Amino acid sequence: MKALLLAGGLGTRLRPLTENIPKPMAPIANRPWLEHLIIHLRDQGVNEFVIAAHHCSEVIRRYFGDGKSWNVNITYALEPFPLGTAGAIKNAERWLDERFLVFNADIVHLPQLIPLLDFHRQHGGIATIVLTEVDDPSSYGVVEQDDQGQILRFIEKPRREEAPSNRINAGMYILEPDVMRYIPAEQEVSIERETFPRLIEENTGVYGIVSSGYWRDMGTPARYRQVHWDALNREFPLPIKGREIQPGVFVGENVKISSGVLFVPPVLIGHNVKIGHQAVIGPYAVIGDDCQIGSRVHCAHTIVWDRSLIRDRSRLQNSIFGYRTVTPAGEVFEDSIINQFKEAVQA
């Protein structure tokens, strides 16, 4: 089974963190989200991946290479300019000559594939759109379906009381190769706004099925933080590296904790981290690999990416710090997003 991972977007809503990395490469619990997704799909039998990339594509290629380190095969479909979701699929056509999966790689969701694939085989249509259910559909495009699950139409941002359902596009598709005939080449095309409505109009068989489990678009700083807090709370059962040294406090290998350090759970500390005297870490703190946290630092509701240096007496609250950030001693950061380093993430 092949999966196409759409990773070519610019990630503008998550800037400045995504100025020098693609959004799917932003770490979740100290591992790039794209790596979490590939591992999850591999463990369900997907071993062939095509990654559609444009913005900072070299970051993905340097990190994953040909995929052999993950026991998968990875090919890259590089976009000469942003092609949109359908345009990126068309651009990868040469590698997609049989039924394939498509994932918007910046959506945080770990689906169980077997029931989705069974549903697709049974209905016999050209496309399955995986759906998720939301409490308030008024901010989304919702679907109207018949009793067999066939999608009749999309309704964009309906009033809550007028919505035909609370089901929205979850950013995953199962497609037959014939879908390529409906996508023009070498131009920007949206599968959501252009291709799917055309397929429905021409009665090619577009069906939808709900995938249960955790789902979130991590495209804004607030949503990106919330994915971490949900992972720490275990509302999102993402695999976490490290041992639990006290309830809700996970620590990686070779971590040096000085005297007087207080952990207020939930907390995740990466590998090779040094924490100075009388630092207070948490609640809701994620410290990446190879970081140094100075003495008397207070860090709460904050994510610090790998190889950062937080100097003595710094206070971090509700903030995100990119790779290799260095903070001045005694500085207060609140509601901050800092990205100082211009080198790509390393495997």
Give pLDDT, residue 152: 93
Put residue 25 in one of left, alpha, beta given phi > 0 → left and psi -120 to 50 → alpha. alpha
Q: Which segment of 54-63, 229-238, 286-295 scores lowest on mean pLDDT?
A: 54-63
Q: What is this structure's pTM?
A: 0.91
Residue 135 CA to its chain's centroid (Å): 21
Nearest to 91 by CA among 187, 194, 193: 187
pLDDT tens for 159-193 read 777 677 888 889 999 999 999 999 999 899 999 88
Give pLDDT, residue 341: 61
Per domain, the residue ranges of the chain are: 1-219, 240-336
pLDDT at 69 over 70: yes
pLDDT at 311 over 70: yes
pLDDT tens for 115-167 read 999 999 999 999 999 999 888 877 777 888 899 999 998 887 677 776 778 88
Give pLDDT, residue 260: 95
Nearest to 85 by CA among 207, 195, 176, 170: 195
Q: What is the mean pLDDT of the chain?
A: 91
Domain 240-336 has CATH 1.10.3720.10: no
CATH code at 1-219: 3.90.550.10
Mean pLDDT in residue range 9-14: 66
Pairwise CA distance, residues 165 & 313, whole Å: 51
Give pLDDT, residue 11: 55
Q: Which segment of 156-165, 219-228, 293-302, 315-324 scores lowest on mean pLDDT?
A: 156-165
